[in-house]
């Protein structure tokens, strides 16, 4: 009888949720032909058909539904085993795969990593940036152990721990009438054009909410792919936007200062945290890493964020 592998079960678990080869292959970081070969090998090992191809996607056969449920349980058991197999469950050592939001990680992690390497030289962090929506998909697919992202993460199968609260300020062109203000009230934005990141970022939702509350216009014809892109569009007079405090400190105050940044009244914030799969439990190493990051924030960023 052909051998059933954990790789086959993991691939089938992702495919059974996505119900599309292209989407599942992207989440797993492999090609569609490779995924098809693994699924075919699993069907051969089980001597049964698991999926049916339809014009608008895939559906699971009755055997496929049972196999998907069993695969999830097996993968969760294996993950729990790997978390407890070490001699010390709370040791920061070995390799952790960390997904990071590009609106948070580049302005926080360099100082964290420097101190982390000094304190825990046996820990290796493999870091990959991606938009929050993609981070969540990859976390659930097993490509990350945990993610640094904006909170909340509205999913029952993901746990998180709070790290910090970060002020958001209004960025406008240097010659904009609001540029000289000490603070900008929500009502001052009535009729203004606001720019935003694409909807895969949680920050985009906050800009949309500000537009609804203030009477500002959300420019849907321009969506930034990064905070740098937003800042550059603002500097050209294409509209205003919200920028997080760590980005402002790193790229605006220490950079060219091509935009004016004004605090909002009332103050606006976003929250950031570490998140992981609920099936992982509450690994002590994850909580220890979160505590370490908070300690670095307290020492390095006390004037920019709130713990």
Q: Give the three-class secondary structure for 138.
A: helix
Contact 103, 227 (CB under 8 A): yes
Q: HSE (CB half, 13 Å, CA atoms) of 20?
A: 8
> Strand 57-60 and strand 123-129: pairing?
unpaired
Contact 28, 70 (CB under 8 A): no
Check residue 260 and give its pLDDT: 94
* pLDDT of res. 75: 87
Give the per-residue pLDDT at 224: 83
Token output for 61: 């056969």
Q: How would you classify the pairing of strands 51-54 and 57-60?
A: antiparallel
Ramachandran category for residue 32: left, alpha or beta (phi over 0 → left; psi -120 to 50 → alpha): alpha
> CA 71 to CA 42: how far, in whole Å?
11
Per-residue model confidence as pLDDT tens for the chain (307 residues): 678 999 999 999 999 988 999 989 988 888 999 999 999 999 999 999 999 988 778 999 999 999 999 998 898 888 767 655 543 456 688 888 999 999 999 999 999 999 999 999 988 889 999 988 889 989 988 889 999 999 988 888 899 999 999 999 999 999 999 998 999 999 999 999 999 999 889 899 999 999 999 999 999 888 888 999 999 999 999 999 999 999 999 998 865 678 999 999 999 999 999 999 988 877 888 999 999 999 999 999 989 999 8
Distance, in Å, from the CA atom of 229 to the CA atom of 197, rounded to the nearest integer, reads 9
* CB contact set of 86 (below 8 Å; sequence gap of 6+): 94
Q: Which long-range contacts (CB under 8 A, 24 or more apart) does 72-78 make?
A: 72/13, 74/6, 74/9, 75/6, 75/9, 75/10, 75/13, 75/142, 75/279, 76/279, 78/6
pLDDT at residue 1, as a whole number: 62
Tokens 């935009």 sit on residue:
259
Q: How far is CA 200 from the centre of its chain?
A: 9
Q: What is the pLDDT of residue 55?
A: 76
CA atoms of 61 and 48, how far apart (whole Å): 9
The span from the CA of 197 to the CA of 208, in Å, is 10
Query: In which region does residue 135 sit, left (phi positive, over 0), alpha (psi from -120 to 50) or beta (all else)?
Result: alpha
Q: What pLDDT is recorded for position 88? A: 46
C-alpha span between 152 and 136 (Å, rounded): 12
Alpha helices per DSSP H over the chain? 6-18, 21-28, 32-46, 62-84, 105-119, 132-140, 202-214, 227-235, 245-247, 284-300
C-alpha–C-alpha distance, residues 186 and 265, integer Å = 7
């Amino acid at each position: 009888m052909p051998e059933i592998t954990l790789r086959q079960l993991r691939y089938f678990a992702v495919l059974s949720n996505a119900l599309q080869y292209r989407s599942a292959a992207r989440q797993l970081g492999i090609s569609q032909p490779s995924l098809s070969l693994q699924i075919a090998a699993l069907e051969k090992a089980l001597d049964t058909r698991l999926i049916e191809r339809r014009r608008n996607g895939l559906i699971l056969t009755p055997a496929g539904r049972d196999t998907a449920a069993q695969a999830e349980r097996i993968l969760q058991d294996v993950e729990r085993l790997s978390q407890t197999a070490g001699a010390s469950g709370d040791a920061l050592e070995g390799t952790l795969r960390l997904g990071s939001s590009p609106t948070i990680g580049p302005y926080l992690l360099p100082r964290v990593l420097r101190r982390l390497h000094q304190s825990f030289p046996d820990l290796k962090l493999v870091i990959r940036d991606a938009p929050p929506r993609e981070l969540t998909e990859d976390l659930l697919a097993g490509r990350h152990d945990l993610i640094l992202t904006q909170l909340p993460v509205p999913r029952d199968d993901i746990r998180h721990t709070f790290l910090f609260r970060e002020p958001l300020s209004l960025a406008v062109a240097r010659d904009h009438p609001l540029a000289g203000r000490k603070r900008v009230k929500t009502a001052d934005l009535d009729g203004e054009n606001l720019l935003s990141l694409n909807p895969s970022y949680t920050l985009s939702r906050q800009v949309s909410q500000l537009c609804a509350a203030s009477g500002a216009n959300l420019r849907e014809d321009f969506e930034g792919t990064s905070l740098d892109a937003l800042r550059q569009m603002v500097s050209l007079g294409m509209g205003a936007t919200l920028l997080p405090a760590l980005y402002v400190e790193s790229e605006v105050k220490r950079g060219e200062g091509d935009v004016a940044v004004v605090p909002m009244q009332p103050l606006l914030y976003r929250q950031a945290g570490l998140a992981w799969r609920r099936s992982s439990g509450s690994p002590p190493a994850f909580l220890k890493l979160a505590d370490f990051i908070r300690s670095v924030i307290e020492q390095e960023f006390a004037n920019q964020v709130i713990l």
